[in-house]
Structure 1
Amino acid sequence: MKTLTALFAATALTLTAGLAQADVRPDLIPGLLKAGTIMDLEKLNQAALAEHPGTTAANITDTELEQTAAGAYVYQVELRDAKGVEWDVDLDAKTGKVLSNKQDK
């Protein structure tokens, strides 16, 4: 019974986490840019790269734009630094402020 309860709890947490942030459809991005809701994605990439001196656009391995449940947009950049260490950098997509800069594990 404990296993079943743990399974249901884990499922509920996973579903709740999925509601916390949702990927923004690529076709919506031009409208968000035009409205000033988000910054230019190249500027956001540069802000992420600035956190890791010596990296260039070639070091970026993935990017995603997500919207939080509160309506804010978060731009996520995955990159590999000059030493080959992988990093996840989250930025406020409107201001470019770095929200987190964590080594990928």
Structure 2
Amino acid sequence: MRKPASKIDQERMYDIIRAPVITEKATMGSEHNQVTFKVPLDASKPEIKQAIEGVFNVKVKAVNTSILKGKVKRFRGTIGKRVDVKKAIVTLVEGETIDVGTGV
């Protein structure tokens, strides 16, 4: 049996939803009622669900996450590393939509 997720405050909700991901693959998910967001590495699935439902006033069906490891890149002989990024693919209940083109 799962323990119920604790409520998060409004400030944490806006910290969790960093930015929408606007790529060809992410926009193909809109056919299946999915929206993709960048989220912090420490955000959990229940927190992401609460944040999306609280900020956008929609019902979330499921949340899938993936961590993209940063690439090692070279710039003028100096080796650097891009930051790791976590993406959340949010599936909405049938009939719900989020317009990522407009600001929150």
**TM score, norm. by length of structure 2:** 0.34
Greater helix content = 1
Greater relative contact order: 1 or 2 (C-alpha under 8 angstroms, separation 6 or more)?
A: 2
- For the pair shown, the structure with the greater C-alpha radius of gyration is 1
